[in-house]
A and B are shown apart, each in its own frame.
Chain A
């Protein structure tokens, strides 16, 4: 028997095997090579998304539209590369019987999506899809959905999420929405409206008319609610807004101003800053009892709190160390520790829903950065930079970030502010196209 170790094989392990070989099996032993593969490449998975087949033109049209939205979702994630439909050899009708895997290997597809649409007697639309592994020649998954035909776009997002989840091991994020501040008009009379859209920019709507300033919207991780900053008289206040009912309310009645709100992971509390006489501290409010708890007590400015996904810790920023840096504390305010020690200033830390990273804004030598680090402050990486990049927000699966980037004023004093998404690996930065300028995006949870 021959054992062959390359790579980080433990010596002891090797020795054990060798001894076993020497002591026992000798004549019948098979030669076996152990090879460590330590180099690969990072590229999107080539995937063939075929038009979903239908029997009548209406079904066929739904099938085409659904396939288009699925392909666009997958492509935008940066993890998949939908193959041009013009290259397809097998047509949707015969594909419905069975894939000719050879045809799909020929065009280098590694995964294949087929599907069918069917209008039911009760007026509903049935959409089914199958995900195939082209090389293993097996069906990986297959599901069917019933919906009102008007809802085809959402079904497409749900299917894209199912495919994404099956192939990456991660929850999807396509069936989500983003609220943000739509900005229009000249710099000195900027109109800011709370707006909402699907994560791909579709179904855009303005939620407020712009008569009142609205800032820093944040989505509840569990409900269709938003908390944000607006004004009562001259005083900034944290508001709660229910997307389903349109109901809006001020959170609490404090002598100072409240700002920088965020929901707790269970959606039952809002953590925020309350400023009085030039000092701001972090408070937590239980939305059911309206009871508030003070978490920090320091002469420095403590703000921008964000809960860890297990609700046990809070990340925030403070200038108690001399410059504005990021700190983590237990959710009862104890055990405060600083996690950033670099030059420059840190702002708007936000804990990933996946728990493994904290995103933040960093200001260093007049440049802004969006970065991520582990919750202990290690592994800091800058993903995006610009004259002004701000407001990182996580997709609910903790894989993708959205933020906004503002350009410096041009000769006529105009600035442009756009929304972007970026993968946490630092690749695949994409603009989210909005009807007007945008800032302060906030990602919704998966729509229930």
Chain B
């Protein structure tokens, strides 16, 4: 009797667990097993390999210098003459007319403008594939390659003085598809392929600023509508309120939108257009900080 209630409890718990978490097979981290492969060999994609993301700006390696007795702190400098003399040159005291008044400038007369192509329902003429020219390292004098450990974080540390145990990579990064009504024509595997193709392409286009305040928390969601040729018809930042209120967020959102523009047209299989015609892209830099 008691064991009956016990088993009943167990079974209920199992059913509840299945309801909440789905069948175990659905939650298997499918991506984990397929991550290393680039699925870009799609029929309407040209053979060009997906561009590798540029490495972060290599740090100018500070030269190791010979050691010498520790210099004394500046406060203990030898004293010189007494009596501080007043400084001779006077800095410019005329800030009044120096202060320029900013006034907003209207954009140039619209009639001369080559009609602003505002995206509407109709897809615009297919943009020719833009040359996604890789930008070179910005300064010539910074040639050294980053050390391997820098690849895990976009913030530089010239010396690991503390042993910061790096937290294990979060396992939920590449989760399998949620269970739900599955479209018969697209397999989970194919969806994975498309997701990875989009990730791969944006990786080479998404330029971010890791020095912004709390940059790791600037997660930007953008709803994107694509044309059948992979070009972007519309891209809207979801959190419009924060766009207005938070200048850092706006900048991050504009970087994300620019990434979508630069990556357009996306190279995706036309046969699966129904799956990728509308996307929500969530730009989340947290992992890159290695925190």
Instruction: Show the binding face of A for B, using Cβ within 8 Å.
Output: 1-9, 11, 14-15, 17-18, 21-22, 26, 29-46, 75, 78-79, 81, 96-98, 100, 105-106, 108, 110, 127-128, 130, 133, 135-139, 142-148, 151, 154-155, 158, 162, 165, 167-170, 194, 196, 205-209, 211-216, 224, 229-234, 236, 239, 241, 243-248, 250, 259-260, 342-344, 347, 354, 356, 362-364, 366-367, 369, 379-388, 390-391, 398-399, 406-409, 423-429, 439-440, 447-448
Contact = CB atoms under 8 A, between A and B. Distances in A.
Contacts of A398: 213
A206 B117 contact: no
Interface residues of B, number: 130
Contacts of B112: 97-98
B207 to A, nearest CB: 6
Closest 6 CB pairs of A and B: A426-B156, A40-B206, A145-B100, A169-B251, A169-B247, A135-B261
A130 B105 contact: yes
Contacts of A382: 157-159, 161
Contacts of A259: 75
A5 B178 contact: yes
Given A41-B208, A211-B81, A236-B79, 8 more contacts: A32-B278, A33-B198, A36-B199, A40-B207, A169-B252, A213-B81, A244-B93, A409-B68
B284 A110 contact: no
A342 B159 CA distance: 13
Contacts of B195: 4, 6, 33, 35
B241 interface: no
B211 A18 contact: no
B241 to A, nearest CB: 16
B194 interface: yes
Contact of B79 (A142, A231, A427): A231
Given A144-B105, A151-B98, A170-B248, A40 B83 contact: no
Contacts of A387: 65-68
A123 B220 CA distance: 48
A105 B207 CA distance: 16
B165 interface: no
Contact of B194 (A33, A42, A148, A425): A33
Contact of B282 (A36, A45, A205, A366): A36
A11 B179 CA distance: 11
Given A5-B178, A211-B81, A231-B80, A30 B288 contact: no
A62 B286 CA distance: 44
Contacts of B177: 2-5
A229 B75 contact: yes
Interface of B: 20-21, 31, 53-57, 59-60, 62, 65-68, 70-71, 73-75, 77-91, 93, 95, 97-108, 112-114, 116-117, 130-131, 133, 135, 137-139, 154-159, 161-162, 170, 172-175, 177-183, 186, 191, 194-195, 198-199, 202-214, 246-252, 254, 256-259, 261-262, 274-288, 291
A232 B248 CA distance: 47
B107 A139 contact: yes
A427 B59 contact: yes
Q: What DSSP secondary structure best describes chain B's contact surface? A: loop
B113 to A, nearest CB: 5
A143 B102 CA distance: 6
B101 A41 contact: no
A205 B262 contact: no
Contact of A212 (B83, B155, B291): B83
B137 to A, nearest CB: 8
B88 A146 contact: no
Contact of B211 (A45, A384, A424): A424
A145 B78 CA distance: 49
A214 to B, nearest CB: 8
Nearest to B197: A35
B82 A43 contact: no
A79 B67 CA distance: 34
Contacts of A356: 213-214
Contacts of B275: 2, 31, 33
Contact of A7 (B62, B99, B174, B213): B174
B181 A26 contact: yes
Contacts of B198: 33, 35, 37
Contacts of B66: 387, 408
